[in-house]
Structure 1
């Protein structure tokens, strides 16, 4: 190290400061000391700008008229160092740089290429933190957690995160847990059925496993999977879309839940108070399996609900369901009646819903009746530019 100090000092005297910094960058690259290499890359830019080098990452000493150029170099350097760290397999370290410049793509791609099976506990914990809790790739984080921590911890983690996830990740997370629990449930059922009926071939179809004269499977409060896990995953499955292959599995799990002893059929929030029956209707509506009856189930609850707060919750579910099965006009009309004044902190924006549905006329009328000139003007003008 002392020789390096001497070499750099002599190089600075003979060839100048830039040459010394270039040599320092070469040394740090060979040492794979990429964090300090990032500092040197910024020092090179500061040398070019004629500002002090002693705080390489600071913007405070960069004049306003030179800040844009320094910011651009900062982003390019972070991208370069992040890429080098990824090549070295240091995903957690790379994330620091890509997160800073708001470019999660390379880290997400690197996480995608990893196996979810690893015996390195500390590395797995680091990857779960980056992927799930810091948002680099939530679905991969859940896969890693499922393989390393099991179903219970994974369900708890998703329960805490699911409403903050973007729709695509929410969908993929629900698919992951539905498939996992469905497989576990079939496995347990096959084991019990084989004990009683040894000549019966195992099945990977849940509905088939519990059909016919097999009420004995549920006798005396018997169950075959943690019932809290079952209710959580059935609830997650509401994030599935009509074309999701896991949707039929979710319906079968709801049907299984309906067969459980009453003490294990925990009630949900409106309109899912009759938890498994209500979810069965929800999934059938998405699957277009008796859709009219299924939608009617929720509309009936909406019409008969006396509590205004619960009425809004039911309306939110029905509006979302109608939208997802393509009944946009019905969804918007219902939203006008029940959700037009719902606070956006709930996660529902009536204005955005009308915009996406192409019904700014309804937003305009609602805003006018509420005396909201600003929203009315926005709906009146829309996207036009005179």
Structure 2
């Protein structure tokens, strides 16, 4: 180490500071000391800009005229160091850099390549933390958790995270849990059926396993999967979109739940009070099955509900379902009545819905009725512009 100090000092005296820093960067790269390498890369830029080197990562001493140049170098250096760390399979360390520069994709791709069985506890925990709780790749984090911690912990984790996930990740997470629970339930049912009917061939189809004269499977309050897990996964399944291959499995899970003893059919929030019946309607509609029946079921609840807050919740569910099954005009008309005044902080934007549906006329009229001049003007002029186009 002392030889390195001497060599760098001589290099600085003979060839200047940049030469010394470049050699130091080489030494740190060879040592795989990438965090300190990041400091040196920024020191090189600050030396070029004739700025103090004592706090290499700080922007506080960077004048406005150099800020854009230094920021560009900062991003490039973080990307370089993050890539070196990924090459060493140091995903958690790499995430620090890619997260800072808002470039999650390299870490997401690295996580996709990882196969973990949970045998290395500390590494698995680090990967779950980065992937799920820090948001680098939530679905991979859930997959790692499922393999290492089991279904119960994974369902709890998803319950805490699902509303913060973007729609694609939400659907992928729901698919993961639906497949897992469906497989677990079929496995348990096969064991019970074969114990009673040893000549019967095993089946991987839930509906087939409980069909026919097999009411004895549910006798005396019998169940074959943790009922709280079942209700959670059926609820997650509302995030599945039309065409998703797991929708059929989700419907079968809801059908199974509807056959459980009433004490195990926990009610949900409106309009899912009759939990499995309501979810069956919702999920079958996404499968293009009995859509009119499903819409009528939820509209009936809307008309019968006396509480205004619950009415809004029910209307939101119906509007969401109508949009997802391609009945946009009906969705907008219902939203005019029940959701037009809903604050956008709730996550629902009536204005955005009208814009996407090409119904700025409804937004204009609604804005006028509540005295919102700005939204009224935007809808009026936007609608006129669309008509002109």
Distance of 1:86 and 1:352 partners within structure 2: 40
Task: Work out whether 1:85 is the aligned partner of 2:79.
Answer: no
| Alpha-carbon distance between aligned partners in 2 of 1:7 and 1:87, rounded to the nearest angstrom | 29
Structure 2 counterpart SS, 1:225:
coil
**2:212 and 2:347 mapped to 1: Cα distance?**
43
Match of residue 235 from structure 2: 235
Query: Number of residues paired by the alignment?
Result: 386
Give the secondary-structure state (helix, strand or coil) at the position aligned to 1:382. Answer: helix
Taking the TM superposition and a 5 Å limit, the aligned residue runs for 1:65-214 are 65-214=65-214
Structure 1 match to 2:341 = 341
Give the structure 2 partner of residue 259 of structure 1. 259
Contact kept in structure 2, 1:186 and 1:203, CA below 8 Å: yes
Does the residue aligned with 1:73 lie in a helix, a strand or coil? Answer: helix
Cα deviation code 1:241-278 (max 9, x no counterpart): 11001001000000000000000000111100000000
Partner SS state of residue 4, structure 1: helix
Looking at structure 2, the residues matched to 278 and 102 of structure 1 have their Cα atoms a distance apart, in angstroms, of 41
- Structure 2 residue matching 1:96: 3-state secondary structure: helix
Per-residue CA deviations over 1:41-77 (Å, capped at 9, x if unaligned) read: 0000000000011100011111111111000000011
Query: Do the aligned residues in 2 keep the contact of 1:270 with 1:310 (CA within 8 Å)?
Result: yes
Aligned to 2:220: 220
Please name the residue that 2:320 is paired with.
320
Distance 1:131 1:189 in 2: 34
Residue in 2 that maps onto 1:42: 42
C-alpha distance after superposition, 1:120-177 (max 9, x if no partner): 1101100000000010000000000000000000000000000000000000000000
TM-fit CA distance, 1:382: 3.1
**Partner SS state of residue 111, structure 1:** helix
**Retained in 2: the 8 A contact 1:116–1:143?**
no
Matched, 1:291 2:307: no
Could you give the per-residue CA deviations for residues 73-106 of structure 1, whole angstroms, max 9, x where no partner exists?
0001111111111111011001000000001011
User: Counterparts of 2:326 and 2:66 in 1: how far apart (Å)?
Assistant: 52
2:9 alignment counterpart: 9
Please give the alpha-carbon distance, in whole angstroms, between the structure 1 residues aligned to 2:221 and 2:56: 67
Q: Distance in 2 between matches of 1:59 and 1:322?
A: 50
Query: What residue is the counterpart of 1:62 in the other structure?
Result: 62
User: 1 CA distance for matches of 2:357 and 2:322?
Assistant: 12
Provide the rounded CA distance (Å) in 2 between the counterparts of 1:59 and 1:84.
Answer: 24
Check the 8 A contact 1:234/1:250 in 2, yes or no. Answer: yes
Residue 376 of structure 1 is matched in structure 2 by 376
Q: For residue 274 of structure 1, what is the aligned residue in structure 2?
A: 274
Corresponding residue number in structure 1 for 2:31: 31
Aligned to 2:18: 18
> What is the distance in 2 between the residues matched to 1:356 and 1:109?
33
> Could you tell me how far apart the structure 2 residues matched to 1:77 and 1:149 are?
37
Quote the Cα distance in structure 1 between the aligned partners of 2:342 and 2:356.
17
Q: 1:324 & 1:357 partners in 2: Cα distance? A: 13
Q: Is the 8 A contact 1:322 1:331 kept in 2?
A: yes
**1:374 CA drift (Å):** 1.4
Deviates more, 1:112-121 or 1:155-164: 112-121
1:354 Cα deviation after fit: 1.4
Match of 1:305 in 2: 305
Of 249-258 and 284-293, the range deviating more from structure 2:
284-293
Kindly state the Cα deviation for residue 381 of structure 1 after the two structures are TM-superposed.
Answer: 3.1
CA distance in 2, matches of 1:38, 1:95: 14
Unaligned runs of 5+ in 2: none
**Unaligned residue ranges in structure 1 (runs of 5+):** none
CA drift of 1:378 comes to 2.2
Aligned-partner Cα distance in 1 for 2:115–2:137 = 14
Contact 1:182 1:249 (8 Å CA) reproduced: yes
**Deviation by residue 1:209-248 (Cα, 9 ceiling, x = unmatched):** 0001001000000000000000000000000011001001
Deviation at 1:118, TM superposition (A): 3.7
Query: 178-187 or 365-374: which moved more?
Result: 365-374
Tell me how large the CA RMSD over aligned residues is.
Answer: 1.3
Alpha-carbon distance in structure 2 between the residues aligned to 1:358 and 1:111: 41
Which secondary structure state, in structure 2, belongs to the residue aligned with residue 53 of structure 1?
Answer: coil
* TM-score of the pair, normalised by structure 1: 0.98
